[in-house]
């Protein structure tokens, strides 16, 4: 009985430590990195928040978000150099959008507790199946 309680106690402490680590690694101090071949550009959260945000209306229950068009981050990259955009979140989820979907792709500022993060929102994706949060990497291929 004593061994079981010790093991359970260690598991609880481990889970709490992992939870604290995960929350700190997804905090508002993070950035988004954009890559195209050898070219890399990094946007801090402060720089992203300075970009003029607009209302984003979606077909998903007429929800309204505040964000900016994804293509605003891609101005330093030649559009003929890539055909698709891969977005990866801090939890490892990844989604691909085609270049012709850029007019409908927004990065929307979201808040959860004391954490700010950006979420991909495709304004015409009624089910939000390709909306990912905690975006950390954008690869142009």
CATH 1.20.1560.10 fits 29-140, yes or no: no
Determine the number of helices (DSSP H) and then strands (DSSP E) in the chain: 2, 9
Instruction: For the full predicted model, state whether its pTM sits above 0.85.
Output: no
Dist CA 61 CA 30 (whole Å): 30
How confident is the model over 19-65, as pLDDT tens digits?
Answer: 666 655 544 357 999 999 999 999 999 999 999 999 988 877 667 88
């Amino acid at each position: 009985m004593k061994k079981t309680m010790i093991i359970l106690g260690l598991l609880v402490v481990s889970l709490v430590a992992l939870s604290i680590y995960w929350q700190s690694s997804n905090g508002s101090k993070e950035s988004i990195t954009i890559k195209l071949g050898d070219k890399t550009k990094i946007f801090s959260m402060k720089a992203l928040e300075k970009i003029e945000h607009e209302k984003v209306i979606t077909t998903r229950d007429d929800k309204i978000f505040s964000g900016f068009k994804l293509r605003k981050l891609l101005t330093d990259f030649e559009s003929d150099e890539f055909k698709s955009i891969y977005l990866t979140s801090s939890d490892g989820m990844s989604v691909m959008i085609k270049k012709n979907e850029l007019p409908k792709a927004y990065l929307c500022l979201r808040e959860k507790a004391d954490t700010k993060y950006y979420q991909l929102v495709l304004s015409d994706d009624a089910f939000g199946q390709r909306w990912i949060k905690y975006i950390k990497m954008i690869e142009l291929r």
